[in-house]
Structure 1
Amino acid sequence: MTTAAQVLQGLFSAEGLEDPYRYYTELRRHGPVSLIGGSGPYAAVVTGYDAVNQVLRDPRVRVTDDAFTDSHGGAAWREHPLLAALNNSMMYSNGERHVRARRLFQQVFTPRRVQELEPAMVAQISALIDGLEARLAAEGEVDFMAEFAYLLPSSVVAALLGIPAEDLVWFRPRVQRINEFLDVTGKTAEVLRRADEATVELSNYYRRLIAVRRAEPADDLISRLVAEDSDVSDEELVCNLLVLFNASFVTTIHLLGNGLSLLLAHPELRSCPVEPFVEEVLRYESPVQFVARYAEDVIEVAGTTIPPKEVVLVMLGAANRDPESFSDADRFEPARFLPDPKTHTAERRAAVGVARGAGGDADRGRAASPPIPTGARPLSFGAGPHFCLGAALARAEAQLAFPLLMERLPGLRAARAPVRYPQQFLRGYESMPVEVCDAP
């Protein structure tokens, strides 16, 4: 049998980028937790749903923070602006520092706040579809990823934070340089240098914006944060803003791209209720495929002892395809997230307005969707103390966007084959050329 280390090596290849799921299946043959021998960067890989859930929720398990980085590579990382910013943010913090920063930021990502934002998001979606229609009419095809999937979540997050919309063109290449470094492959000195430069430029931008909002408050998150009586320093604020902007929209970009790809390939899905559809996209093609964790002490997961102070690769994408938790896991089936699969046909007919947007009323379409049942849920946004702050916002954007896209552009179809996003960490598309044909 091929060793787990060999399977992992295959996963981080061109073949694994195209289809990681066959490698996840092979890893599961070694059990829900696979120990990786040798001198590689990972001590273990966790693929089983229950095992991944356990690791993410275990209070003894930590993200790779500054203390971990110091103990594994010395303090040289502090000379790199990107690494210093990451390790000073809540995403790479544990304990009280993480709780303190998260408490400050989570006020804007509550389900209630997201619901209040829905009218503005619908308006933004409609404006972006206007732009798609104009480009399609003028040029015949358009890149959905560049002209919609990127622009919607980045515009929403920018509006939340208080970043002027006209600055987003400047933001995009700098955000991309940071994302290039975050992938487990391609961490070259040149990639890090470019990411460091982008971090310096973005950090200076945020410092200027904080100063402006402190002098002239507006109705945005940064104004609220600087007005808070908080023990989070301005430097911590800058680092968290830098990471938060990236994390809050990158997942949504690929959720939108992965969902549209399925809708274009399988037009019958357009009549599905939108909430189960979005949930199944998250499960079937998790935008974030894995995260890294470690524990100070020995822990046991699914009967396997994991050594202390070693990096564990926690495979969200594999957990979401675990046949022990999801029947027929490699099949795309939104009905699994209906309250009762036996009532799927009736529920789908009742919610047909979700896909067709009855009179353009997005709220009515969403109300027709049945509630998502309890039970095994996608782990695409993580779990436990580091559960993604922007999960509710990402779901809302996708649930609003797909019905409006299908209503306004019923003849939308693929113009050419999409180009896969060249990272293992994020699963999605770099470009997706689309065109319109006459609707049947």
Structure 2
Amino acid sequence: MNLIESLLSPAGRADPFPLYAEAHRLGPVLPIADTVFVIVGYAAVNEVLRNPGFGIRTDPSSQPALELMQRSILRANPPDHGRMRSLISQVFTPRRVAALQPAIESAVDDLLDGLPAEVDFMDRFAFQLPVTVICELLGVPTSERDRFRPLASDLTAALELTDSSDEAADAAARELGEYFVRLIRDPAPDSLVSALLAARDAGDGRLSDEELLANLILLLVAGFETTTDLLGNGLAILLDQPELGSDPAAFVEEVLRYDSPVQVTTRIARADGLSAGGIPMPAGSDLILLLGAANRDPVRFPQPDRFDPARADNKPLSFGAGAHICLGNSLARLEAKVAFARLLDRFPTISAAGPATRRDRLVLRGYQTLPVRLSSAECSGSGGTGSQDRTSA
């Protein structure tokens, strides 16, 4: 059984980290078949992600889910990728993201106000926060938002490393497509949808109707799917190691490194003369990049299996790198930073209230349920200030 087969087993999906450690002992680049390579070393993964000679495999597909993704920036190669991304970046700017902090803080506080003493963190907070933020940006009405969690979960199953078709993913693609067609017809003023429509209608031909639809769906799904998992993975770590540290942003970076919401991505060698980690990659070679393994490379990160929010020079590859780096990575980081700081300020003591359940996935790693018990500052007898020993909001 090769590394990928082991990772796709039930035990590998549940806990891939021992397999990553074993892979690192074998080297940064592991051939598993003719012109198929698994890349586990941090430097080699980073090299491939940043080299424009490596691209995305875009075989024609009759599956609606895969066809949808291939029309978006997620699965596009140059020149289409740059054309679409530059247009989307004009409306999804760093300034626009930074300006969201007060709204994110307000959304976090509203959610915390409504949490009971015992709660499924995934259902009542980890999903609700990012879906609220991205739906506000897209102009999706509040009454429509809960429908997206199962649809996103079904759709992203198509990203897993399997060759079988997924009827649920295809059904989700069709339903999301129908929804956004209606949203495009009547967009909310000052939303990302209306901004992208204005950019599309500028007449320069940089975004087709099909591409607009696919990228809006991607913005929705990616806008909360990985952030939901980031929040859940981070809180699970806090249950075992209840110290946020003095810098919530550094804590978030270590969560991304230690238990990345995205564990795997893929590339194809689009030309001859390419290499990864010093190993030649013939044109047409398939590369499986284990982001989660790269983030635990002992060459790059001393004591990689130790969670350390004070880790120096911490630059995980969880959101990718290079031209395909996740467009919403700064938004996800901002949401998580605000959420953890305010969560622990409000509830200094958080403990497990029952067994958690992981999603049965390899590529996107997160929790399905995470029941916790919350104790407020008042209940802990700190008079509302005890959490300052643990975090600065």
| TM-score computed with the length of structure 2 as normaliser | 0.91
- The aligned runs of 1:341-356 (5 Å cut-off) are none
Deviations along 1:312-340, one digit per CA (max 9) or x if unpaired, are: 10111111101111111111111114xxx
Letter in 2 for 1:259: G
Match of residue 211, structure 1, among 166, 180, 185: 185
Does residue 21 in structure 1 map to residue 17 in structure 2? yes
Match of residue 38, structure 2, among 45, 64, 68: 45
Q: 2:7 maps to what in 1?
A: 11
Letter in 2 for 1:407: D
Name stretches of at least 5 consecutive residues in structure 1 with no aligned partner: 71-76, 338-374
Query: Following TM superposition, by how much is the alpha carbon of 1:300 offset from its aligned partner in structure 2, in angstroms?
Result: 1.5
Aligned sequence identity (%): 43
Does residue 154 in structure 1 map to residue 131 in structure 2? yes
Query: Following TM superposition, by how much is the alpha carbon of 1:29 offset from its aligned partner in structure 2, in angstroms?
Result: 2.2
Query: Following TM superposition, by how much is the alpha carbon of 1:26 offset from its aligned partner in structure 2, in angstroms?
Result: 1.4
Query: Following TM superposition, by how much is the alpha carbon of 1:281 offset from its aligned partner in structure 2, in angstroms?
Result: 0.6
Letter in 2 for 1:311: D
Q: 1:120 maps to what in 2?
A: 103
Query: Following TM superposition, by how much is the alpha carbon of 1:376 offset from its aligned partner in structure 2, in angstroms?
Result: 5.2
Query: Following TM superposition, by how much is the alpha carbon of 1:129 offset from its aligned partner in structure 2, in angstroms?
Result: 0.8
| TM-score computed with the length of structure 1 as normaliser | 0.81
**Greater displacement, 225-234 / 45-54:** 225-234
Aligned equivalents of 1:64 and 1:104: distance in 2? 23
Does residue 334 in structure 1 map to residue 334 in structure 2? no
Letter in 1 for 2:257: R
Letter in 1 for 2:195: R
Query: How many pairs were matched up?
Result: 373
Q: 2:71 maps to what in 1?
A: 88
Match of residue 275, structure 1, among 249, 267, 270: 249
Match of residue 260, structure 2, among 267, 273, 286: 286
**Partner secondary structure for residue 181 of structure 1:** helix
Query: Following TM superposition, by how much is the alpha carbon of 1:8 offset from its aligned partner in structure 2, in angstroms?
Result: 2.7
8 Å CA contact 2:258, 2:307 repeated in 1? yes
**Partner secondary structure for residue 388 of structure 1:** coil
Letter in 1 for 2:169: A
- The aligned runs of 1:370-381 (5 Å cut-off) are 375=313, 377-381=315-319
Aligned equivalents of 1:170 and 1:421: distance in 2? 18
- The aligned runs of 1:161-310 (5 Å cut-off) are 161-185=138-162, 188-189=164-165, 192-213=166-187, 218-228=189-199, 229=202, 230-231=204-205, 232-267=207-242, 269-298=243-272, 299-310=274-285
Deviations along 1:33-90, one digit per CA (max 9) or x if unpaired, are: 001126xxx800000010000000011000122xxx14xxxxxx2x322222111111
Letter in 2 for 1:398: A
**Greater displacement, 317-326 / 375-384:** 375-384
Q: 1:30 maps to what in 2?
A: 26
Deviations along 1:316-365, one digit per CA (max 9) or x if unpaired, are: 1111101111111111111114xxxxxxxxxxxxxxxxxxxxxxxxxxxx
8 Å CA contact 2:104, 2:133 repeated in 1? yes
8 Å CA contact 1:292, 1:312 repeated in 2? yes
Aligned equivalents of 1:263 and 1:107: distance in 2? 37
Deviations along 1:140-186, one digit per CA (max 9) or x if unpaired, are: x211001110111111111111111211122222222102222224x
Q: 2:113 maps to what in 1?
A: 130
**Partner secondary structure for residue 83 of structure 1:** helix
Query: Following TM superposition, by how much is the alpha carbon of 1:99 offset from its aligned partner in structure 2, in angstroms?
Result: 1.0
Letter in 2 for 1:64: R
**Greater displacement, 8-17 / 256-265:** 8-17
Q: 1:354 maps to what in 2?
A: none
8 Å CA contact 1:325, 1:376 repeated in 2? no
Does residue 439 in structure 1 map to residue 380 in structure 2? yes
**Partner secondary structure for residue 185 of structure 2:** helix
**Partner secondary structure for residue 270 of structure 1:** coil
Q: 1:353 maps to what in 2?
A: none
Letter in 2 for 1:294: I
**Partner secondary structure for residue 142 of structure 1:** strand
Name stretches of at least 5 consecutive residues in structure 2 with no aligned partner: 382-393
Query: Following TM superposition, by how much is the alpha carbon of 1:247 offset from its aligned partner in structure 2, in angstroms?
Result: 1.6
Structure number having the greater helix percentage: 1
Aligned equivalents of 1:385 and 1:48: distance in 2? 20
Aligned equivalents of 2:83 and 2:183: distance in 1? 22
Letter in 1 for 2:127: Y
Letter in 1 for 2:359: Y
Letter in 2 for 1:117: L
